[in-house]
Amino acid sequence: MTITTGSLLTASFSAVMIFSFSAGADDPGPMSDKGGKVVDEAPGGVKLATSLPEKISVDNSSEKTAITATVENGGTKESGAIRLLVVGFDGLTVNNVEGCTKIAEADLPEGSNSGYACGIDNLAAGKSKSYAVDATFDLKKEGKICLPVQSTDGKKTFWQQGPVPFGANNPSPNAPATPLLLGTDNTPVTPGGDEAGGGGSGDGSGGEELPRTGPADQVLPLGAVGAALISAGAAGLWWTQRRPGRDGV
């Protein structure tokens, strides 16, 4: 019995150690709502917001990275049905969001390269929901991500974080991985370690500017949609606009 009890204790201890390690590995670390703001007023008692990791890491050989996107209701009443969009820009491409539906290319917001829509039936007061985002990041470009929280029909955007950049001021292309910080413009580099010229818009055209968020709260024109955004005077309304000749998300 002593031997059996000892074996059981050892097995239990091993299980606890494995569980603890797994939980720690999934921990995204400190999160931040940097670059986020309320756009349309949410229903009374509902306070929606999102957060992203303050730091991510990009594998320099595969360009793969993992991002945790979290939406929370800090209000006193349940949210009802809402949706979260996870959209990539420039060098950051969203390849998959667990439990969400890919947005067709024709329905992507202007200037973006990829996106997923996550339907949420209801988010109780004080609760949050996190999504595992698989992405790639081309370190030769700047890269941004955007998290709008909308009504299910997309007519209202209760909150929008971004497009906010991830980046590094001093990339190390010859290292195994490059750490990127939220709210930091990436300094593009070539595989040899030299800074790439300009950075550009990431789509090869070099002619479009994207709206940015942050301390300066700068909104730059983005074609007709950008003009509508500036006229409205509220960052994020462009998410509810339809692209010419395309249906809404």
Structural domains for the chain: 29-240 (2.60.40.10)
Give the phi and the psi of residue 111 in degrees, each rounded to 5.
Answer: 90, -10
The pLDDT-based confidence of 177 (bands split at 50, 70, 90) is: very high
Yes or no: say if 144 and 209 are a contact pair by the CB < 8 Å rule.
Answer: no
The predicted structure's pLDDT at residue 191: 53
Res. 175 pLDDT band, cuts 50 70 90: confident
Query: SS3 for 130?
Result: strand
pTM (2 d.p.) = 0.70
Per-residue pLDDT tens for 193-223? Answer: 444 443 333 333 333 333 344 333 333 232 2
Decide if 50 contacts 74 (C-beta within 8 A). no
